[in-house]
Amino acid sequence: MENLSQELSIVIVGSGFLFMVALAIACVVLVYQKKQLRQRFEKKQMQSLYHQELLKARLEAHEETLGQLAKELHDNLGQLLNSSKLLVSVAKNNHTDEALDMAHETLTVALQELRGVSKALDSGGVEHFDFIENLRAEAKRINASKNLVMTLEHPDQLALPKEQQLVLFRMVHEVFQNVLEHARASHIRVRTRQDDHNIEVEVIDNGNGFSQGAVIAPGHGIQNIKHRTSLMGGVVEWLSGPTGTRVRIQLPLS
Amino acid sequence: MTPTFPFYLEAITHFLMLLIMGVYAWKFDNRFRYRMLAGFYLVATALLIQPLSQNENIHVHNALYLFTGLVFAGYFFAVLQTSWRSRLALALALPTLLYFVYQLVGGGYPWFDSMGYALASISIVIMIFLYFHEMLHHVSETPLLESFDFWLICGWLMYHLGAFGIFLTYSSLTQTMHLVGESYISTGRDLFTYLWGLNNVLLFLSALVAATGLGWKIYHRSYQL
């Protein structure tokens, strides 16, 4: 009898123990699956945000390209065609070959400019976007204004996907805009470096700096840069003082 | 005393685990940790089968707990991804090792060393909790039930947590037996038997859990193909 009660106790205790362990394991599995679902949801959200930012960057690049092309057409091509028209008019009235020759030369230059515009329109897509090429073009444009000198230091090409190069360029462009509008700088130095793991872009100006607390406001370009950098898994930092500002953007290559 | 069925369960279970680890290492993942476990179960089976015929397996068991503690520490060191957890798992083998050395220096334990087993079991349970802690803090894309390690470790949790309680009870009963003397032996013997039977049943169930994990992997693979 005593043996039977001992055996029964062992069976009850053993069964109870197994039930408790099974319950604990089931709870662990449920918690894990819940965390997994949340992680998948967050990943999808991040992907969606990333695609939205990419689209936004493409639209901005598209708008800017169109703006620049419109300016090119008006300032350059428009002037050349106007000159050609005047020269043809002079040649018609005075019957001189010289004016016709000059009109011919002017129209040739105009055709070349038109081809350039056509090429720029054609290569405006993300598939052809090149960060270094656009950086050089931007430097040329800024240096042409003679208000500011921009010097560049960069590798021949970046190992980032084209779409990320576009977003990186938009961020760097935002920094340039801030320097042009607020810094009163005379010189900007842009250093681009890459290694096996990261790409780093530094923009250093000799302007009057800013107080970081003053510019962190909703809608400001800095918020945009921070947001885009974090979406791409990178970091951005500002170091500002009375002698200038340094902005460093670092993005992972993976 | 003639061994009854629950006593044969120990050797059968270790042999079953040997088959499970062998099939898994052969079909799915032949990393060192799984081959090490297969080797451990092979040695354990060999050690446990031999003394059954002689009915004197105390010294075999006393060596086996040390072997278990060291092998499992090695396994968890390989499985855990974060460095502090994997080092802690390895360090958890030390108490078992030190206890074994202490007993050895003292002339060896003449009876079943349940305290050594309890120490090895609780160390393994802590390693298992480390695994669960890491798992819940580093969620991956793979469904949990598709991980063979998870099934294996759940089986071990079931066994070693129960075994810890059993071995502590064993140790307490053994000490009482030595204090009270012969009169206790006859009345307490049956309780020892039932407890050991429960221990072996838990061991067998843990092997069934590991077998379920292997079966799930095989089913999942054939379903995908």
B176 lies in which domain range? 5-219
Residues of A in contact with B140 (CB under 8 A): 36
B206/A71: higher pLDDT: B206
Task: Reply yes or no on whether the pLDDT at A215 is more than 60.
Answer: no
Residues in a beta bridge with A193: A200
Q: Which residues does B154 contact at the CB level (< 8 Å), separation at least 6?
A: A25, B209
B136 touches chain A (CB under 8 A): yes
Task: Reply yes or no on whether the pLDDT at A212 is more than 60.
Answer: no
- Asked if the Cβ–Cβ distance from A21 to B162 is below 8 Å, we say yes
Q: Work out whether strand A187-194 and strand A149-153 pair parallel, antiparallel, or are unpaired.
A: parallel
Cβ atoms of B124 and B160 closer than 8 Å? yes
- Asked if the Cβ–Cβ distance from B194 to A35 is below 8 Å, we say no
Residue B3 pLDDT class (50, 70, 90 cuts): very low
B209 touches chain A (CB under 8 A): no
Ordered domains of chain A (ranges, CATH):
130-254 (3.30.565.10)
At B134 the pLDDT is: 94
* Euclidean distance between CA atoms A19 and A14, whole angstroms: 9
B173 touches chain A (CB under 8 A): no
Residue B54 lies in a domain: yes
Task: Reply yes or no on whether the pLDDT at A188 is more than 70.
Answer: yes
Residue B225 lies in a domain: no
Residue B188 lies in a domain: yes
At B196 the pLDDT is: 85
Burial class (CB in 10 A: 0-12, 13-18, 19+), B52: middle
Average pLDDT over residues A215-230: 71
The total number of residues shown for chain B amounts to 225
Under 8 Å CB pairs connecting chains A and B tally to 48
User: Which ipTM was obtained for this model?
Assistant: 0.84
> Residue B19 belongs to a domain with what CATH number?
1.20.1070
At B108 the pLDDT is: 64
At B62 the pLDDT is: 75
Contacting B with CB below 8 Å, chain A residues are: 3, 6-7, 10, 14, 17-18, 21-22, 25, 28-29, 31-33, 35-36, 39-40
Residue B98 lies in a domain: yes
Measure in Å the smallest separation between the Cα of B102 and chain A Cα atoms. 32
Domain count, chain B: 1
At B46 the pLDDT is: 87
Residue B224 lies in a domain: no
Cβ atoms of B7 and B200 closer than 8 Å? yes
